[in-house]
Chains A and B, each alone.
Chain A
Amino acid sequence: AIQLTQSPSSLSASVGDRVTITCRASQGISSSLAWYQQKPGNAPNLLIYGASSLESGVPSRFSGSGSGTDFTLTISSLQPEDFATYYCQQFNSYPLTFGGGTKVEIK
């Protein structure tokens, strides 16, 4: 199975900060990567698909980039509602796998 390693596992940031989360795959997955946001008590919400395509309704401050083995999720200006845990997920091959998550907390 393809392993996804996210870093950092947690971070503290302030409203308005630029935040970058990375996801590294154990082997090349082309652009077959998605990002999800999960808030406590809720199901995950799809933010980005295909490494860089923003899902409908997702604010433009979220962006994704990368291909092969290295990917990033960037929040250009952190908003209060963005404090959550973020997961990457690969869909290059089965089983689908997720990264361990990055918790974004308020500084």
Chain B
Amino acid sequence: QVQLVQSGAEVKKHGASVKVSCKASGHTFTSYYFHWVRQAPGQGLEWMGKINPTGTSTTYAQKFQGRVTMTRDTSTSTVYMDLSSLRSEDTAFYYCVRETEPYSSSSRLGYWGQGTLVTVSS
């Protein structure tokens, strides 16, 4: 079955960077788009961006342009989300999400990781 296992909780200082990983299993890794969605504690969902199956193309929400980098490592079936210049408003759960359908970017967000809490302290 499809599993997305994310890295553990992080506590970072204001201005630092964080890299969250998401190891995928139970499917052909190179066939699917992955997205990252975040959720501040007690708040709603916010889409950050996506990466294509080969890792050669990314689309980021304008809000995060210049601060976020999404990559993937085919050899370990892992996707990564790197967020820099952290501020208190970045404190949130970060979810990696795999699309339901292979090859096409339908934005059908069918499989979610367990979430990684990133806490930014001043």
Give chain A's interface residues, CB within 8 Å of chain B.
Answer: 34, 36, 43-46, 49, 55, 87, 89, 91, 94-101
Contact = CB atoms under 8 A, between A and B. Distances in A.
B7 interface: no
A93 B62 CA distance: 13
Contacts of A98: 44-47
Interface residues of B, number: 20
Given A91-B108, A98-B45, 19 more contacts: A34-B108, A34-B109, A36-B109, A43-B95, A43-B112, A43-B114, A43-B115, A44-B95, A46-B100, A46-B108, A46-B109, A49-B100, A55-B110, A91-B107, A94-B61, A95-B62, A96-B47, A98-B47, A101-B45
Interface of B: 35, 44-47, 59, 61-63, 95, 100, 106-110, 112-115
A101 B46 CA distance: 12
**Main DSSP-derived SS at the B contact region:** mixed
The 5 A-B residue pairs with the shortest CB-CB distance, nearest first, are A91-B107, A43-B112, A96-B47, A95-B61, A98-B45
Contact of B45 (A55, A87, A94): A87
Given A95-B61, A95-B62, A46 B45 contact: no
Nearest to A45: B112
A101 B106 CA distance: 22
Contacts of B61: 94-95
